[in-house]
Amino acid sequence: QVSLVESGGGLVQAGGSLRLSCAASGSIFGIAPMGWYRQAPGKQRELVARITTGTTTNYADSVQGRFTISSDNAKNTVHLQMNSLKPEDTGVYYCNFVLASRYYWGQGTQVTVSS
């Protein structure tokens, strides 16, 4: 069994910052973090940031320069530092890990940015 637990979401004013964290636990030998996704109301889930081999990162154009993804492989955690938040960043954020070619998702954490 694999469990992913996210934390760090909340309500913040535009221009503020939040740090999301996602910790994997259970039978996770060999598990690797993949990234963060978000889903805004009425929209499809979209990739926000991706991390591979622990160091290579990619970002959606809309968050480039404002968000930073990082991982702590020893603790099987992945983080998303979000700065200069905008109302359009509002949504439910999900972390994503892969193990033996199977993808696992966190339960989601709500991020709300007020204008």
Query: pLDDT digit string (tens) for 50-99?
Result: 998 767 999 999 999 999 999 988 888 999 999 999 999 999 999 999 89
Q: Which DSSP letter does residue 85 get?
A: -
DSSP bridge partners of 70: 79
Query: pLDDT digit string (tens) for 23-52?
Result: 999 888 888 888 999 999 899 999 999 998
Question: Which residue do the tokens 């509002």 mark?
Answer: 90
Q: Is the pLDDT of residue 6 over 70?
A: yes
Give the span between the Cα atoms of 68 and 89, in whole angstroms: 14
At 54 the pLDDT is 61
At 28 the pLDDT is 84
